[in-house]
């Protein structure tokens, strides 16, 4: 645990001593603030967060690759990953430490964005159960996106290549149900269960279901496992 905590602190320090974390936070909050203002000022707004939460989930498809692109790729580019792996640190500790740092940054972004339902409270009576379940869905989706980004970062020493790979994979997971449905109704009904878009919809609407929880948790464990395997190949 000490190694994981040390790596996590190191990555968080790197985030907040560079412009990257602030650019990501400002980008995410800038877009969502504009949409929230348009939503509230539309004259037909209801005290519901589902539409904004859906936008936030899609924005994470673009934000997650930026957060994760340098986690391992930069270390490989600088040659410091070999130094890190020669220390008495296991690959799983490296992967978890870096992943948890990215998750902490995601949590900070979501906590700041929580000002939207608080503002909405002044103009109506939002269903807080719906809001909290929706935020849980965004957190789980974002956590799975970060795990995918971490794995992509472990495959290359080029941060841009890592970000592009992550975006392509995330878009595939987002659109896979629609793509399969356009080919075959029967295939689409099965494949759409793998779509992040399909799995997050109910949570965004405040409908709590264990299936998307299992889905996103499986993505996290699977891609962290792949990251560990990738790091083991570097040590070999």
Indicate if the pLDDT at residue 188 is higher than 60: no
Comparing C-alpha atoms, which of 130, 96, 45, 103 is closest to residue 227?
Answer: 96
**Which of 49 and 15 is assigned the larger pLDDT?**
15
Convert the pLDDT of each residue in 23-54 to its tens digit.
999 999 999 888 888 777 665 555 567 778 88
What's the pLDDT band for 197 if we cut at 50, 70, 90?
confident
pLDDT at 181 over 60: no
Choose among 125, 148, 124, 5: nearest CA to 64.
148
CA distance 23 to 125: 33
pTM, two decimals, is 0.89
pLDDT higher than threshold 80 for residue 191: no
- What pLDDT shows up at residue 201? 81
User: Is the per-residue pLDDT at 226 higher than 80?
Assistant: yes
Give me the pLDDT at residue 82, please: 67
Q: Can you give the pLDDT at residue 185?
A: 59
pLDDT at residue 59, as a whole number = 92
For residues 142-164, average pLDDT: 93
Instruction: Give the span between the Cα atoms of 213 and 171, in whole angstroms.
Output: 20
| pLDDT at residue 157 greater than cutoff 60 | yes
Residue 8: pLDDT above 80? yes
Q: What is the pLDDT of residues 50-77, one digit of tens each?
A: 778 888 888 999 999 999 998 888 888 7
Whole-angstrom Cα distance, residue 58 to residue 171?
9
Cβ neighbours, 10 Å, residue 191: 18
Exposed e or buried b for every residue in 122-160, given b needs 16+ CB within 10 A? eeeebeeebbebbbbbbbbbbbbbbbbbbbbbbbbbbbe
More confident residue, 32 or 197: 32
- Give CA angle at 154 (12, 23), nearest 5°: 40
**Does position 118 have pLDDT exceeding 90, yes or no?**
no
DSSP designation for 18: S
- Mean residue pLDDT of the chain comes to 84
């Amino acid at each position: 645990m000490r190694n994981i905590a040390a790596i996590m602190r190191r990555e968080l320090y790197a985030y907040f001593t560079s412009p990257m974390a602030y650019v990501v936070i400002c980008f995410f909050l800038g877009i969502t603030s504009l949409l929230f203002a348009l939503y509230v000022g539309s004259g037909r707004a209801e005290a519901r967060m589902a539409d904004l939460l859906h936008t936030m989930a899609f924005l994470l498809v673009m934000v997650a690759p930026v957060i994760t692109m340098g986690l391992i790729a930069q270390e490989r580019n600088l040659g410091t990953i070999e130094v890190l792996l020669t220390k008495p640190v296991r690959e799983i500790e490296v992967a978890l430490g870096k992943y948890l740092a990215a998750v902490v940054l995601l949590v900070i972004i979501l906590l700041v964005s929580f000002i939207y339902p608080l503002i909405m409270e002044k103009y109506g009576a939002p269903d807080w159960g719906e809001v909290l379940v929706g935020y849980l869905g965004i957190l789980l989706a974002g956590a799975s996106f970060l795990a995918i980004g971490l794995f992509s970062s472990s495959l290359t020493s080029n941060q841009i290549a890592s970000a592009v790979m992550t975006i392509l994979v995330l878009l595939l997971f987002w659109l896979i149900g629609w793509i399969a449905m356009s080919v075959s109704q029967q295939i689409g009904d099965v494949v759409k269960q793998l779509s992040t878009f399909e799995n997050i919809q109910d949570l965004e609407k405040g409908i709590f279901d264990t299936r998307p929880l299992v889905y996103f948790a499986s993505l996290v464990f699977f891609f962290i496992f792949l990251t560990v395997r990738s790091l083991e190949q570097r040590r070999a």
